[in-house]
Amino acid sequence: MRLLTKMGLATTIGIGLSFPAQAYVDPNAGGLLFQLLTPLVALAAASLAFARRQLGRIWGFLLGELRALSARLFKQ
């Protein structure tokens, strides 16, 4: 049997034989997610704000090159 077929069969059997879970989930479990994601979002926003001029220059250069290329390809 191929590996993918074996994995699918094992997954199907595992799901079929599972019992309902009697587990407790902490109500503040989402707090950890926010504590992890907030600094990452702040870092990304600060990086974009810091590099705004450079990104604008790159974007303008790329648009200018695309316009020049399209003018050469589709001469009117």
Residue 40 or 23, more confident? 40
Asked if pLDDT for residue 24 goes beyond 80, the answer is: no
Q: What is the pTM of this model?
A: 0.42
> Which token pair is 11?
């997954």
For residue 45, what pLDDT band results from cuts at 50, 70 and 90? very high
Q: What pLDDT is stored for residue 16 in this prediction?
A: 84
Q: What pLDDT is stored for residue 21 in this prediction?
A: 74
The answer to whether 55 touches 48, Cβ cutoff 8 Å, is: yes
Task: List, in order, residues 6 or more apart from 9 with CB less than 8 Å away.
Answer: 1
In angstroms, rounded to a whole number, what is the distance separating the alpha carbons of residues 55 and 72? Answer: 26
Asked if pLDDT for residue 76 goes beyond 70, the answer is: no
In angstroms, rounded to a whole number, what is the distance separating the alpha carbons of residues 8 and 4? Answer: 6
Q: What pLDDT is stored for residue 39 in this prediction?
A: 94
Asked if pLDDT for residue 73 goes beyond 80, the answer is: yes
Q: What pLDDT is stored for residue 14 in this prediction?
A: 85
Q: How many CB atoms lie within 10 A of CB 59?
A: 10
